[in-house]
Amino acid sequence: MKWKKLLFCIVTAVAAAFIIIVVLWGKRYYEDRYVGRDYFTIVPHDFDATPETMYGMNGNEVGYGKTYKLTAYNERGESKEIEFNVYADRNNFPQPGDFLIVKASKQIVVGWNITDKNEIPESALTMINENN
């Protein structure tokens, strides 16, 4: 009977450890994928914002839009290469000279908005001005 109790304790401990590991991994995955931090950038003045045909990963046409590949800076002036698509169903394509606030996680861009120059932290604005 003692060995059954010991076996139960071992199985329970292993199951609890497994659940803790899965929960921690899930939390980290969620934060790395979906929790964004603010980055600031400008659409270069020579950028062609004309919509074009967009294609999905399988090669099928998914509509009209534009891919933006930009260097953005956080409030400390640290840079990050960002890439996101804007589709024609959205009325406001970022135009050359527009300042953007981009919410980017470690893996993807989770949102963006056009903003005013005065909304950008000084250290990020300095980096934008030096590099554009």
- DSSP letters, 5-56, are HHHHHHHHHHHHHHHHHHHHHHHHHHHHHH--EEEEEE--TT-----EEEE-
Distance CA 13, CA 11 (A): 5
Task: List, run by run, the mean pLDDT of 10-residue segments along the chain (132 residues).
Answer: 84 91 93 92 93 90 92 95 85 89 94 94 94 84
* Structure confidence at residue 95 (pLDDT): 92
pLDDT at 89: 67
Identity of the amino acid at 97: G
Contact 55, 77 (CB under 8 A): no
At the second CATH level, the architecture of 36-131 is Beta Barrel (2.40)
pLDDT on residue 49: 87
CA 103 to each of CA 7, 59, 110: distance values in angstroms, whole numbers, following the listed order: 49, 27, 6
Q: Where are the domains of the chain?
A: 1-34, 36-131
pLDDT for 91: 64
Which amino acid appears at position 86 of this protein? V
Alpha-carbon 9 to chain mean position: 43
